[in-house]
């Protein structure tokens, strides 16, 4: 059984004026998601700026999210690291906190071999009972998980059950379905490719767009699963320019600006991320108005 189907939000981590986690705004954002049909919450991922959180903050954010969600939807904790031991530590702590699954990014910077990736993920999986979603995003990590490597991991390791595919390559997705014979749950890691990936058998999306348009991102998936492919496609196209605007600077700079424009939380970012450029902010604002998110 899939950890979730539909749209899981890759939730942002709000910071206050002193760049500490703003838990009041975090709770507000979580409630906004659940009230607007988000199917799962992915905490402390790329969009959550996990790379700038120390271990104490990282685990505190996971605990807060699990407790605030209170079983209303699944909570998936980002617990990846380029150090296998650190990934084990974070994953075990997330399990203790009550997370429903772990999202574990491929090791960045080290650029492991495919053999190294198999050993990395197997070692982590053997030390937790959580179901694991492997996160394949070579554009960020410099390390691509080949489809045959995924097929071997899914075959040999019981609790490796899914992949967040952010390769941006539908041929890779098709190859993955072929190599695994469909014995894997795939989630799109790209908001502009939800419908194409659903057509190849994906279970949904782990979404940046969901931060600001949770109901319609959910509906892209729900309409597709209901057989209303035209409605699903039309929603995908409706948000095309907004999705482009959300990635006109590196994620999560634009989505945090969007949340600020909506009044949900401040747009504070931890360095080395910086304030969005004015012309990009205006592009984002226009796209939010065109889709009805802003008046």
Active-site annotation holds for 19 = no
Choosing from 121, 135, 172, 239, the catalytic residue is 135
Cα distance between residue 212 and residue 23, in whole Å: 18
Cα distance between residue 97 and residue 103, in whole Å: 15
Chain-centre distance for alpha carbon 271: 21
DSSP code of residue 271: T
Largest Cα–Cα separation, the chain? 52
DSSP code of residue 134: E
Q: Dump the DSSP string for 39-83.
A: -EEEESSTTTTGGG--HHHHHHHHHHHHHHHTTSS-EEEE---SS
Reading the block at residue 280, the tokens are: 């990009």
Active-site annotation holds for 135 = yes
Choosing from 37, 144, 164, 256, the catalytic residue is 164
CB 7 within 8 Å of CB 204: yes
Cα distance between residue 132 and residue 3, in whole Å: 9
Chain-centre distance for alpha carbon 236: 18
- Hey, which residues are catalytic here? 135, 164
């Amino acid at each position: 059984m899939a950890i979730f189907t539909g749209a899981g939000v890759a939730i942002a981590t709000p910071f206050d004026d002193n760049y500490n986690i703003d838990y009041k705004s975090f709770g507000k954002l979580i409630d906004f998601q659940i009230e607007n049909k988000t199917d799962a919450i992915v905490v402390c991922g790329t969009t959550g700026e996990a790379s700038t959180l120390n271990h104490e903050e990282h685990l505190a954010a996971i605990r807060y999210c699990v407790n605030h969600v209170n079983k209303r939807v699944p909570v998936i904790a980002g617990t990846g690291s380029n150090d296998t031991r650190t990934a084990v530590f974070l994953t075990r702590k997330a399990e203790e906190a009550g997370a429903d699954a772990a999202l574990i990014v491929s090791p960045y910077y080290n650029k492991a071999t495919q053999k190294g990736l198999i050993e990395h993920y197997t070692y982590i999986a053997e030390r937790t009972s959580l179901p694991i979603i492997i996160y394949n995003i070579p554009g960020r990590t410099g390390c691509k998980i080949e489809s045959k490597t995924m097929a071997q991991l899914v075959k040999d390791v019981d609790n490796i059950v899914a992949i967040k595919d952010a390769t941006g390559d539908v041929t890779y997705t098709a190859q993955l379905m072929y190599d695994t014979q469909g014995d894997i749950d795939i989630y799109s890691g790209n908001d502009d490719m939800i419908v194409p990936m659903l057509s190849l058998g994906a279970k949904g999306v782990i979404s940046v767009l969901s931060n600001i348009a949770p109901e319609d991102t959910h509906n892209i998936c729900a309409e597709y699963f209901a057989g209303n492919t035209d409605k699903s496609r039309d929603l995908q196209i409706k948000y095309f320019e907004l999705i482009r605007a959300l990635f006109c600077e590196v994620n999560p700079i634009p989505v945090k600006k969007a949340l600020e424009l909506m009044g949900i939380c401040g747009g504070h970012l931890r360095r080395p991320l910086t304030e969005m450029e004015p012309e990009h902010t205006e592009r984002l604002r226009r796209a939010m108005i065109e889709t009805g998110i802003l008046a």
